Structure 1
Amino acid sequence: MKSGTGRQAGHAAPIRTCFRRSTRAVGALVGVLATLSVGFAPSATAYDAQSQQWYFGPMKADQMWRVSTGKGVKVAVIDTGVNPNTPSLKGQVLADEVPNAVAYKATDDFTGHGTTMAELIAGTGSGGGLKGLAPGAKIVPYRVDLEGLPGGKSEEKKTPKIAQAIRAAADTDAKIISMSFGGFPDPEDEDAINYAASKGKLLIAAVGNAGKSAKKDLIDYPAAYSYVIGVAAADESGAVSKFSSSGGYVDLTAPGQGFPGWCDTTFRSYCEREGTSPATALTSAAAALIWSVHPNWTVNQVVRSLVKTAGRKDPSDRPSKYIGYGMVRPRLVLEDASFDPGPAHVDPLAKENGGDLLAKAGTSAASSAPSSSASTPSQAPAKGSTGGTSAAGSSAESSSDSNTLWIALGAVAAVIVIGGGGAAVMRARRAR
């Protein structure tokens, strides 16, 4: 696993959502919320968010939805909470399935961030709102102690910690745990990640928004941990976003800028927002599309299918420093009825993860039985210690990888030979 010390007492470095927000509103959604229970006034429609979701075209979403919408797959969104009453999320949020111990204000989003992530994953697009890449999937919401939590110490005590939410989600039938946040390492978070991985969950997290502004390559946790898929962001041209963190802990890349998200907790309008947060949500949705069609696949097989079909100019069995194995392309899996996902209990990212946790535990995504304990950080080498290849250029935005991601979307999937056996990759740190 990646080396690092635990979080200091008092959370000296707060965990942040990996979403950068512009102060300029791009338009009202479909009107003003009268009340959360009533929703939006249909006569006040002033903006169609879906017209800004440019990635639907390159990803050929319409073609994918003929095969899969993510139906039957539940995604645990660990974030700032999820408002289930926006037009796009009506009927999409399974609040009753949140374990009681971590259910505090799960449907009370304190920034609008978690609701945006949920819409990007499973929104129906009703009322002109954001449409999810997997509109047939369902969201299980978790509100955790992230930066910006209102209410002071008393609220912090009531709000679940990240590790508590991860463990709780691991014990449910949600297949995917989506984490659009990051911060410094924490032993409890790492233990929770290992536990969730041992239960066959697919863990996906944002690599952070430090980008070129950082003095050195910084990747957020939990994305930097083993058994978590670390996701970078790209823009409409296919270039890796300047704000997207790098440093050898990126696994996949997804769209992360140029489309809207909720401005605030009034849920009246969308703003221009960007970050590795939305890229994480879209990767979670891509996995849901695949798992819906192949419900008996293990987490290893779902991860392998994402990695093998990822778009990248120079296919390799080693991830690029900036884009990992490339841009997510679930369509290439969905359109191939004979797609070979490989062995169920061999981790396609074992080298990065430092071992095959699922194989050791004897678990699979289809199994609900408790597994043996996960290995501790000291038992595995640093994640990415085998060395990730750097992009051809000297920086993320100038690399040869970054300007060809969307070109690769329409091409035949590159065959990537990946050795070893294990579970899914993971990485993360501080987010904004």
Structure 2
Amino acid sequence: MTPTRRALVTTLALTATLTTAPTTTAHADTPQHPWYFDTYRIDEVWEHTTGEGITVAVIDSGVDPTLPELQGQVLDGTDLTADPQGAHVDTDGHGTEMAALIAGTGEGSGIQGLAPGVEILPIRVTYGGVTNDISGRWAEAISYAAESGARVVNISQGSLDGERASQDMAEALAMAARHDMLIFASSGNDGEGTNHISAPASVDGVVGVGAVTSSGDRSSYSSHGPQVSLAAPGDDVPGHCGDISGPACIRDEGGTSSATALASASAALIWAQHPDWTKNQVLRVMLNTAERPDDQRRDDYTGYGIVRPDRVVLDGEGDPGDPDSPPIFRDWEAELRPPAT
């Protein structure tokens, strides 16, 4: 895949820096109020939207709905692993924490999610690090999410076998596009190493997400390349100390997994406020209002910029444009349409 396949076809208005958002109240940096809540003016945003009416599919290791902050937030879902035990089983906690970053209510001193009004559709594809035939499972999971009515899909996972993933996921991604569904995936945490370009973020039809720090700088571990379309906070975000049975805390270490969850939650906030918009319009305003500290349109580190849902919700920024015109993946989506008669 070349950068031109991901060329943006709308005019971007990207200004300011990540730390300039006005705040009205000083808060401690806690799992109930992490640093980016001030940046995103989240208390004001929630007066307009909490993501209500939007289902976010979390394709991961399962989601444990018994955590106080997730009770009442999680649908039945499905388990697509080779050893199915149910979508509510999460033996390594990763999927549960992604779900909490998206939709956690903060109850019981738990994690407060960015979009606590959404419903989480858990789709279990991994367990205990086992990832046999992962691209095939992603494909099946995306199809299930589309058939189940999810509007947003979160895949905080990655594989180096992008070619295989592209082949396995082609039909499922075409279905997702026809079902007007947005898919976000993590770019990877190998930015300080060999910087492999991983799937599914590298696959056309999937929005790759990188990670940034609280100062708006690219997180050093965040993998980079043409697959990165957006970035979101990845450092100093809430998690659970120890395993998911432990108390919620702010973790020093970061990851593009968390950034992807926050990008998915941002899309849900915008879509809930504008339920008549298409995926193209939601993604276009996310790109139009993304924040960049320079004059570049995009780079391989943060894509078109850092997600700023507050600019859409509170300031009315971003032109949704043509509902049928994709802002990226234009050539790919054109190939999905039947020939004109």
The answer on whether the counterparts of 1:232 and 1:322 sit within 8 Å (CA) in structure 2 is yes
| Matched position secondary structure for 2:141 | helix
Match of 2:178 in 1: 198
Match of 2:222 in 1: 244
| 1:168 is the counterpart of 2:144 | yes
1:135 pairs with 116, 127, 131, which one? Answer: 116
Match of 1:360 in 2: 337
The answer on whether the counterparts of 1:117 and 1:277 sit within 8 Å (CA) in structure 2 is yes
Match of 1:67 in 2: 48
Rounded Cα–Cα distance in structure 1 between residues aligned with 2:98 and 2:125: 14
| 1:309 is the counterpart of 2:289 | yes
Rounded Cα–Cα distance in structure 2 between residues aligned with 1:354 and 1:324: 19
State the 1:84 CA deviation: 0.3
Letter in 2 for 1:319: R
Rounded Cα–Cα distance in structure 2 between residues aligned with 1:202 and 1:100: 21
Rounded Cα–Cα distance in structure 2 between residues aligned with 1:327 and 1:62: 19
Match of 1:327 in 2: 306
State the 1:147 CA deviation: 6.0
Rounded Cα–Cα distance in structure 2 between residues aligned with 1:136 and 1:200: 20
- Change in CA separation of 1:337 and 1:238 when aligned onto 2, cut-off 3 Å: closer
> How many residue pairs end up in the alignment?
304
Q: Tell me the C-alpha RMSD between the 2 structures.
A: 2.6
Structure 1 length normalisation: TM-score?
Answer: 0.65
Rounded Cα–Cα distance in structure 2 between residues aligned with 1:270 and 1:361: 49
User: Which has the larger Rg?
Assistant: 1
| 1:291 is the counterpart of 2:271 | yes
State the 1:323 CA deviation: 0.7
State the 1:167 CA deviation: 1.1
Letter in 2 for 1:166: I
- Change in CA separation of 1:81 and 1:99 when aligned onto 2, cut-off 3 Å: closer
Match of 2:35 in 1: 54
Structure 2 length normalisation: TM-score?
Answer: 0.82
Match of 1:406 in 2: none
| Matched position secondary structure for 1:254 | strand
The answer on whether the counterparts of 1:182 and 1:222 sit within 8 Å (CA) in structure 2 is yes
State the 1:311 CA deviation: 0.3
State the 1:315 CA deviation: 4.2
- 1:164-193 CA deviation, whole Å, 9 max, x = no partner? 111111112110011000002222134322
Gaps of 5+ in 1: 4-46, 151-155, 363-432
- 1:117-171 CA deviation, whole Å, 9 max, x = no partner? 0010011011111111111111010110366149xxxxx79xx822211111111
Match of 1:77 in 2: 58
The answer on whether the counterparts of 2:186 and 2:260 sit within 8 Å (CA) in structure 1 is yes
Equivalent positions of 1:131-280 (< 5 A) are: 131-145=112-126, 148-149=129-130, 161-183=137-159, 184-185=161-162, 186=165, 187-214=167-194, 217-263=195-241, 265=243, 267-270=245-248, 272=251, 273-280=253-260
- 1:236-281 CA deviation, whole Å, 9 max, x = no partner? 1211100000022210010001123135555123462410000000
The answer on whether the counterparts of 2:91 and 2:127 sit within 8 Å (CA) in structure 1 is no
The answer on whether the counterparts of 1:250 and 1:319 sit within 8 Å (CA) in structure 2 is no
The answer on whether the counterparts of 2:90 and 2:127 sit within 8 Å (CA) in structure 1 is no
1:347 pairs with 313, 326, 335, which one? Answer: 326
| 1:120 is the counterpart of 2:92 | no
Rounded Cα–Cα distance in structure 2 between residues aligned with 1:81 and 1:354: 34
Rounded Cα–Cα distance in structure 2 between residues aligned with 1:182 and 1:336: 34
- Change in CA separation of 1:323 and 1:338 when aligned onto 2, cut-off 3 Å: closer
